Structure 1
Amino acid sequence: MIALPSPEDFRYDLPEHKIASSPLSQRDSSKLLVYKNGEIFDHLFHEAPRLLPEGATLYFNETKVVMARLHAVVPKNNRIIEIFCLEAPQGQSVEQVMQQKHAVVFRCLVGGARHWKEGIISIALTNDIKLNLSIEKREEGTFLIHFQWNGDLAFAEILDIAGKVPLPPYIKRNVDKDDFERYQTIFANHKGSVAAPTAGLHFTEEVMRGFKENGISTQALTLHVGGGTFLPIKEKDLANHKMHSEEMVITEDILNALKKPSSLRVAIGTTSIRFLESLYWMGVKALIQPESFEWNLDQWDALTLPQDISLEQAWKALEDLLNGGKAYAKTSLLIIPGYKFRVVQALFTNFHQPKSTLIMLIAAGIGEDWRKVYQHALNNDYRFLSYGDSNLYFVNS
């Protein structure tokens, strides 16, 4: 068991003017800070294909952001409230809920909730379609909201009409038309995220062609990003921090890719890391607990499960369970300093918020050098957070 670090150890001073409020005009014109063997190098992102060795494999997240932020008027008092769709109710797949028609229940945050105690809120979406919302249950600071509509559209399509791009709260401006394209990656395919996997925002078709020409293969995966992914840790003691859960879609294609030889396994984004490392630990659970196995990983499982299971054993155990199908799994994996990466050997990511679990994940890969990296970025006018610049870290062995 490793010692839990203090969240305060991952604080740094981030001036507001360093936070990128809008994307650059060209995705791959962002800066790329490269960390390898304790050294830091400055590049531009379009140079990325020549920075990886031939035979490497890139794993990218093809989740798609849904228009998760809605505004509505409470009829009793004409107050405007904001409804932010967080996640599917426990036991349900967010990807499957997004495909449902006519009615769903979804866990939401409600801004201005004191103005909406009861009753139905109606939103006219088109001349023919009306969306009705009602509170089904209040639960731990969130609300289970019942959405009901006429017509034959899926829930994701309803959100496309009624909702707005869910830009994070540190981007202090209104959504504009460019955000509908630029807050999605070029890989976006499966609707289900309420925040973008932002490391992928720098990639272009031209950059991907460069990887292919340099003998670097790619593999898609899907992890639907939850609303808690970028938030700072509020608890003083990490043991009291409840890690948010996110949905993974597991297929044999991914296991087959992981079984192939690769000179370097590279994750595009912390969401891809979370998927790949969680997949290994689910394989460990499947191997040692075949009778009681569930597609669920707790935040501390990586610290308590056996540490000597090989990748091959883990992949075989999962392959036997899938039996040619696919599984919707939930992961709350928390990666902190002292964690040993089992799958990922390098990663592309953005610069993250102070005191966030994502900073801890970076520190797990490169140790205390994360401070050196972030200070270099601050001193050299790198842009931070979701619309900011990129990093390429080679994980310390």
Structure 2
Amino acid sequence: MNLLEKASQIDLKKYQYELSEERIAKFPLSERDQSQLLVYQKGAIQHQHFYDIKSFLPKKSSLIFNNTKVIPARIHFLKQSGANIEIFLLSPTDPTPEVAQAMLVKNKCIWHCMVGNRKRWKSQDHLERFFETEYGKIKVTATYSDYEQNHIQFEWDNEAVPFVEIVELMGSTPLPPYLNRSATEEDKPRYQTVYSKNEGAVAAPTAGLHFTDAILKDIQQSHPIHELTLHVGAGTFQPIKANNVLEHNMHCEQIQIEKSTIEFLAKSDSEIITVGTTSVRSLESAYWFGVQLINKEADTFHIKKLYPYEKGFENLPSRKESFYAIQEYMESENLDSLHGDTEIFIFPGYMFQVVNGLITNFHQPESTLILLIAAFIGEDWQKVYDEALKKGYRFLSYGDSSLLLP
């Protein structure tokens, strides 16, 4: 039986646990680094606080952070009838599908969106909002570009203003649906990592929410730190509904990795500790792109959902070999950064090629992220979660943290 046949028989009920409403952290702690930290190392578990995390990092390890920045992706328009229409930005479609470029577009753009109260917004109607800004008065109009596909065109009447500033004017923080509350002013800075840089995520890489500038500065004295960008999409919250997990529709997310990070991974023997599952997905996906380059299978960075399992985990190049192939590719193409996207689905049976340790929060039952954790530490995922529940840990986006060292 091959890996995909085994995966098709995964019983999702084995990745269920009882998560009561009161265990979900609805609000952040007053101080980022005061969260509890569960340290799992080769089967043993310790309970600490996040401000002590440096003490538990392997000596010869480096940290990789996802520096994506959450945009206020929930945009509201009020119709003359009084109907409140919520537009949730998902991904750009025109004039460019690349998030980084789409945020800088001026005058008009088209995004794929979710629409709340959609039945009250007919296909021919247009919505308007007005803002007083340093540029003067701005009118923003929203119309359907494609009603069936929920493609919405935004237009604004000031050529000096990029779309990222329009979103900042109009939008609110896109809190996860399971928080069941409206965003507050406190959420603007707190649902954002202190090192966020590149606008485009519609959900935070929440493993990084515990870090402070002081902790980062302290870690950097003894552990190299590198960054990448994966723009987290709303699909990260999508539950697995298919009986056969292989049929789950994995969301596609955009990745950007600077050449300096690729060069580091091509030459370093350091253990790699990723901050968050998004960093895991990015690095493991980049590895497989290196494999494709070595095998002359592709020269475009796009990793399909099941490619690693179809390829198999035998006779693979080393981490250094794969990233060196990417380095050579970038040099030949005169690229300063690697851009691509991934649908990679990591579940039990996956063999990690880059990541040695993981800093992460506690995830929803029967989710793709629980499957990733189970792939990383095996059946001990259940022991970790049982222990966290027993010790009163706070769960999900604003919850407590763990350091997993298999």
Range into which the TM-score falls when normalised by the shorter chain? over 0.9
- In the other structure, the counterpart of 1:321 is 329
Give me the CA root mean square deviation: 1.5
The structure 1 residue matched to 2:230, chosen from 223, 227, 230, is 223
**What SS does the aligned partner of 2:55 have?**
helix
Matched, 1:299 2:325: no
TM-score of the superposed pair, with normalisation by structure 1? 0.95
Q: Which residue of 2 aligns with 1:178?
A: 186
Given that 1:221 and 1:249 are in contact with CA atoms closer than 8 Å, whether structure 2 keeps it comes out as yes
Matched residue type, 2:371? M
Separation in structure 1 between the aligned mates of residue 108 and residue 338 of structure 2, nearest angstrom:
24
The C-alpha deviation readout for 1:82-120, integer Å capped at 9, x for no partner, is 111011229721111011111111110001111112211
Structural mapping, 1:244-323, within 5 Å: 244-289=251-296, 292-305=298-311, 307=313, 308-323=316-331
User: Which amino acid in 2 is paired with 1:9?
Assistant: K
Indicate the residue corresponding to 2:61 in structure 1. Answer: 56
Question: Which range moves more in the overlay, 191-200 or 226-235?
Answer: 226-235
Select 2:145's aligned residue among 128, 136, 140: 136
Give CA deviations for 1:185-210 in whole Å, capped at 9, x if unaligned: 01100101000000000001111122
Distance 1:207 1:15 in 2: 32
Q: Which amino acid aligns with 1:371?
A: Q
- Distance across 2 between alignment mates of 1:71 and 1:133: 10
**After superposition, what is the alpha-carbon deviation per residue over 1:155-214, rounded to whole angstroms, capped at 9, x for unaligned?**
11111010000001111222111111001101100101000000000001111122123x
Instruction: Could you tell me which runs of 5 or more consecutive residues in structure 2 were left unpaired when the two chains were aligned.
Output: none
Verify: 1:34 aligned to 2:39, yes or no. Answer: yes
Conserved 8 A contact 2:63-2:224:
yes
- Within the candidate set 193, 203, 210, 1:202 is matched to 210
Q: CA deviation at 1:6?
A: 2.9
Are the equivalent residues in 1 in contact too, given 2:265–2:320 (CA < 8 A)?
no
Q: Report the CA distance between 1:309 and its aligned residue.
A: 2.1
Q: How far 1:25 sits from its partner (Å)?
A: 0.6
Superposed displacement of residue 328, structure 1: 2.1
1:85 maps to 2:86: no
Aligned-residue offset at 1:8: 2.6
Distance 2:276 2:151 in 1: 30
Within 2, Cα distance between the matches of 1:312 and 1:174?
46
Match of 1:82, SS? strand
2:274 corresponds to which letter in structure 1? Answer: A
AA matched with 1:357: T
Moved more, 29-38 or 225-234: 225-234
| 1:89 match: secondary structure | strand
Is 1:371 equivalent to 2:387 in the alignment? no
Choose the corresponding residue for 1:389, options 377, 397, 400. Answer: 400
Report the counterpart of residue 350 of structure 1 in structure 2. Answer: 361
Across the two proteins, how many residue pairs are aligned to each other? 390
Alpha carbons 1:138, 1:144 under 8 Å: kept: yes
Distance 1:253 1:275 in 2: 15
> What secondary structure does 1:201 align onto?
helix
Q: Secondary structure at the match of 2:17?
A: coil
Deviations 1:99-150 (A, max 9, x none): 11111111100011111122111111226111100111145xx511101111
Aligned AA for 1:133?
A: A
Match of 2:174 among 158, 166, 169: 166
Alpha carbons 2:34, 2:49 under 8 Å: kept: yes
Aligned-partner residue type, residue 281 of structure 1 = W
1:149 to 142, 156, 164: 156
Aligned-partner Cα distance in 2 for 1:277–1:13: 30
Cα distance in 2 for residues equivalent to 1:295 and 1:236 = 30
Partner of residue 15, structure 1: 20
Matched residues in 2 for 1:309 and 1:257: separation? 17
- Deviation string, structure 1 residues 51-82 (Cα, Å, up to 9, x no partner): 1122310000111000100111234x431111
Partner of 1:341: 352
Distance in 2, matches of 1:9 and 1:134, equals: 45
1:124: which partner in 2?
A: 130
Q: Check 1:311–1:359 CA distance in 2 against 1; reply closer, same or farther (3 A cut).
A: same
Counterpart Cα distance in 2 of 1:87 and 1:9 = 33
Q: 1:111 aligns with which of 103, 116, 128?
A: 116
- State how far apart, in whole Å, the 2-side matches of 1:299 and 1:89 are: 21
CA separation in 1, counterparts of 2:85 and 2:98?
A: 27
- TM-superposed CA distance for 1:233, in Å, is 1.0
Q: Equivalents in 2 of 1:74, 1:9: separation in Å?
A: 47
1:238 corresponds to which of 221, 229, 245: 245
> Post-superposition shift, 1:317?
2.2
CA contact (8 A) 2:227 2:257 kept: no
1:188 aligns with 2:196: yes
Q: Measured at CA, do residues 347 and 294 of structure 1 come closer, stay the same or move farther in structure 2, by a change above 3 Å?
A: same
Do the aligned partners of 1:285 and 1:305 also contact (CA within 8 Å) in 2?
no
